[in-house]
Chains A and B, each alone.
Chain A
């Protein structure tokens, strides 16, 4: 029987990396990701795990080492936050272009300036188009589970993409939650050792990373685009297999009391749990409000999103980042694009909330729903605002 243990989510993430039998870990310390690397270095130092651990001189090198080791066929892991992710941004595009199934956990944190170590999604949004499979998880159990899910998915020969697990910094990374640990035998069955399709080895010399002239580049980009879109089927398959093993079934988009709701809140990441409390409160007051949560950010779940939202009148999208000078929040942009072609679709009102760790309470969600319903009623059907700004 699986054990249920109270532990910090970062520790759970590190334990999962250990159980996933990762070969190479390379990282650079940055708040709030630090507890993961600290715990992993302890695990390796205590001989609980047979892996090479390197605390390197920069995030750029952390990702570069993972790229090199993954190219030899070694299962590789790194984790970072904010400025660290910005520094390794160049390499994220390359890891995906070279189809190296590295796993990275991002403990999401605000990008400077001003310097701030607290949580929002501005770091993840910066590399939105880097070509990785990208999840936004809601709680510690999902972080733990997705380490196994991600390797099994990324290493599948029909997928071969690196994977990012986005988990909110501090509010998720530093909290203690009950985590149901999976027995090692089950994990070994679910996640066998990595069998690379190509690997750097003198017995079969290959050239990896040749440059592309304009005559071929567009074709490579299309191949990457098709493959990432096509990974959707495999993502659902792996989630199903994982659910059959643990009883925890995941979906690209999840809904909560949403089926008949007139107004829907839409969130991504850990604030979904807070939003569900707000939904309960509003339902008790007799209001027709539900919740839609996006778990899979790339490949974007267009169909699932439509199914979950098209029946509603109002869609209140809560972003955790701002596309400065652009259309508002990045999640709302995607949602609008997904439903644009539909003859009947909800009005989308967009808030950027919880910017850089500002608390978002159930009360705040109720206020946002109130505001959005009034604005839409008054004809401001596609509004955007940064919530809770003191004026």
Chain B
């Protein structure tokens, strides 16, 4: 869908902001941008249940708030369950006539730690129960809020404060957990990956998720200059490189059917993406080669699924 949209399409978006400026995120935070775009896509008739994490901390130091839509935070690992509660609460109150009938989209919003690690059980439960809500994971590939500790979503080789590059170990020794595939395995109607470097694609996916009845899962790669040790002015570029190198392909799984949104006949070498990030500074040529092999393999697999449709 991307190739049909030129860069000016962004200007057609609403001027309204539901995630207000003035929050406390770091310079170049692509996660804040992702949240802003998600809100723009959904408009005002939403309720957000947010996990503990960067987006919660930067937006809600009492008595301030950056949220122009109803927003709820209670803990770290239960975002999907809280969103489930909000969804059923609205449903039953409307059915009993205690609040007027109206379409209100419930959104669960959590980072990669709150989704792939500590929140995975609650998410699996909510997806299995089939609540009508959108779960958005803004993935910055580590526990950035607590000081860049590794999560199961941290990529292989990345140095974090708990997977440091040392004399015997070279950063994260495990491969990134494939959350979108895990979500899709729950047979929910809609799963997508997105990145704020592709704003129109992201917005269309969020809108689609809102229109679909049932649970939808959107996994958004969110560049974090603080944690990735990258220049704040490179966040958009890095997001693009993540897609262009095949590190983070943009795709949808609609009712089990895979669809690769942008296909590149030839992927850019992974090195172009890695060299801009301090967290990969220690990597040897052999390790970069190992990552390249894995990324190429995974991307080919995804292309096959796209061709096959499942």
A interface with B by C-beta (< 8 Å) = 23-24, 26, 50-52, 54, 56-58, 60-61, 64-74, 76, 90-91, 94, 98, 193, 200-202, 204-213, 216
Q: Shortest CB–CB separation between residue A101 and chain B, in angstroms?
A: 13
Per the bound structure, the CA–CA distance linking A159 and B104 in Å amounts to 29
Query: Does B8 interact with chain A (Cβ within 8 Å)?
Result: no
In the A-B complex, the 8 residue pairs with the closest CB atoms: A68-B85, A72-B89, A57-B125, A69-B89, A64-B81, A209-B73, A61-B81, A65-B85
A65 near B99: Cβ-Cβ < 8 Å: no
Per the bound structure, the CA–CA distance linking A358 and B294 in Å amounts to 60
Question: Would you give 8 A-B contacts (Cβ < 8 Å), ordered by A?
Answer: A54-B129, A56-B129, A68-B49, A68-B81, A71-B85, A71-B89, A206-B70, A210-B63
Per the bound structure, the CA–CA distance linking A94 and B85 in Å amounts to 15
Write out the residue numbers on chain B whose beta carbons fall within 8 Å of the beta carbon of A73.
89, 93, 98-99
Q: Shortest CB–CB separation between residue B210 and chain A, in angstroms?
A: 13
Taking CB as reference atom, which chain A residue is nearest B129? A54
A210 near B60: Cβ-Cβ < 8 Å: yes
Query: Does B83 interact with chain A (Cβ within 8 Å)?
Result: yes
Per the bound structure, the CA–CA distance linking A193 and B93 in Å amounts to 11
Write the B50-84 contact mask toward A (1 if CB under 8 angstroms, else 0): 10000011001111110111111111011011111
Write out the residue numbers on chain B whose beta carbons fall within 8 Å of the beta carbon of A72.
47, 85-86, 89-90, 93
Write out the residue numbers on chain A whose beta carbons fall within 8 Å of the beta carbon of B64.
210
Write out the residue numbers on chain A whose beta carbons fall within 8 Å of the beta carbon of B84.
54, 56, 61, 64-65, 68
Write out the residue numbers on chain B whose beta carbons fall within 8 Å of the beta carbon of A70.
85, 89
Of residues A65, A94, A210, which shows the largest number of chain B Cβ atoms within 10 Å of its Cβ?
A: A65
Query: Does B257 interact with chain A (Cβ within 8 Å)?
Result: no
Per the bound structure, the CA–CA distance linking A70 and B92 in Å amounts to 11
Taking CB as reference atom, which chain B residue is nearest A56? B125
Per the bound structure, the CA–CA distance linking A64 and B96 in Å amounts to 22
B90 near A56: Cβ-Cβ < 8 Å: no
Query: Does B233 interact with chain A (Cβ within 8 Å)?
Result: no
A201 near B85: Cβ-Cβ < 8 Å: no
B92 near A74: Cβ-Cβ < 8 Å: yes
Write out the residue numbers on chain A whose beta carbons fall within 8 Å of the beta carbon of B99.
73, 201
Taking CB as reference atom, which chain A residue is nearest B99? A201
Write out the residue numbers on chain B whose beta carbons fall within 8 Å of the beta carbon of A201.
47, 70, 99, 104
Of residues B44, B61, B86, which shows the largest number of chain A Cβ atoms within 10 Å of its Cβ?
A: B86
B81 near A60: Cβ-Cβ < 8 Å: yes
Interface size class of B (residues with CB under 8 A): 35 or more
Query: Does B121 interact with chain A (Cβ within 8 Å)?
Result: yes
B interface with A by C-beta (< 8 Å) = 44-47, 49-50, 56-57, 60-65, 67-75, 77-78, 80-93, 95-96, 98-99, 104, 121-122, 124-126, 128-129
Write out the residue numbers on chain A whose beta carbons fall within 8 Å of the beta carbon of B62.
210-213, 216
B44 near A68: Cβ-Cβ < 8 Å: no
Q: Shortest CB–CB separation between residue B50 and chain A, in angstroms?
A: 8
Per the bound structure, the CA–CA distance linking A90 and B74 in Å amounts to 10
Write out the residue numbers on chain B whose beta carbons fall within 8 Å of the beta carbon of A67.
74, 82, 85
Q: Which of A74, A193, A202, A213 contacts B45 (CB 8 A)?
A: A202
B85 near A69: Cβ-Cβ < 8 Å: yes
Of residues B73, B78, B89, B121, which shows the largest number of chain A Cβ atoms within 10 Å of its Cβ?
A: B89
Write out the residue numbers on chain B whose beta carbons fall within 8 Å of the beta carbon of A212.
62
Q: Shortest CB–CB separation between residue B290 and chain A, in angstroms?
A: 37
Q: Shortest CB–CB separation between residue B62 and chain A, in angstroms?
A: 4
Q: Shortest CB–CB separation between residue B34 and chain A, in angstroms?
A: 20
User: Quick one: given A58-B125, A202-B69, A209-B74, are A74 and B89 in contact (CB under 8 Å)?
Assistant: yes
Write out the residue numbers on chain B whose beta carbons fall within 8 Å of the beta carbon of A98.
74
A71 near B72: Cβ-Cβ < 8 Å: yes
Per the bound structure, the CA–CA distance linking A225 and B145 in Å amounts to 30
User: Quick one: given A69-B86, A211-B57, are A60 and B72 in contact (CB under 8 Å)?
Assistant: no
User: Quick one: given A57-B128, A58-B122, are A202 and B47 in contact (CB under 8 Å)?
Assistant: yes
B74 near A91: Cβ-Cβ < 8 Å: yes
Per the bound structure, the CA–CA distance linking A206 and B63 in Å amounts to 12
Per the bound structure, the CA–CA distance linking A135 and B89 in Å amounts to 27
Q: Which of B71, B85, B86, B128 contacts A207 (CB 8 A)?
A: B71
B96 near A60: Cβ-Cβ < 8 Å: no
Write out the residue numbers on chain B whose beta carbons fall within 8 Å of the beta carbon of A204.
70
Per the bound structure, the CA–CA distance linking A64 and B74 in Å amounts to 9
Per the bound structure, the CA–CA distance linking A212 and B87 in Å amounts to 27
B98 near A193: Cβ-Cβ < 8 Å: yes
B121 near A57: Cβ-Cβ < 8 Å: yes
Write out the residue numbers on chain B whose beta carbons fall within 8 Å of the beta carbon of A209.
50, 60, 71-74
A64 near B89: Cβ-Cβ < 8 Å: no
Per the bound structure, the CA–CA distance linking A23 and B129 in Å amounts to 18
Of residues A24, A56, A209, A212, which shows the largest number of chain B Cβ atoms within 10 Å of its Cβ?
A: A209
- 16 new A-B pairs (CB below 8 Å) besides A50-B95, A200-B70? A23-B92, A52-B91, A52-B92, A54-B84, A56-B129, A61-B121, A65-B85, A65-B88, A68-B88, A71-B86, A73-B89, A91-B74, A94-B75, A200-B72, A206-B70, A211-B57
Of residues A71, A91, A98, A207, which shows the largest number of chain B Cβ atoms within 10 Å of its Cβ?
A: A207
Write out the residue numbers on chain A whose beta carbons fall within 8 Å of the beta carbon of B70.
200-202, 204-208
Write out the residue numbers on chain B whose beta carbons fall within 8 Å of the beta carbon of A54.
84, 88, 129
Write out the residue numbers on chain A whose beta carbons fall within 8 Å of the beta carbon of B68.
205
Q: Which of B61, B67, B72, B95 contacts A68 (CB 8 A)?
A: B72
Q: Shortest CB–CB separation between residue A62 and chain B, in angstroms?
A: 8
User: Quick one: given A54-B129, A60-B81, are A69 and B74 in contact (CB under 8 Å)?
Assistant: no
Per the bound structure, the CA–CA distance linking A51 and B98 in Å amounts to 13
Per the bound structure, the CA–CA distance linking A72 and B78 in Å amounts to 17
Q: Which of A26, A50, A207 contacts B65 (CB 8 A)?
A: A207
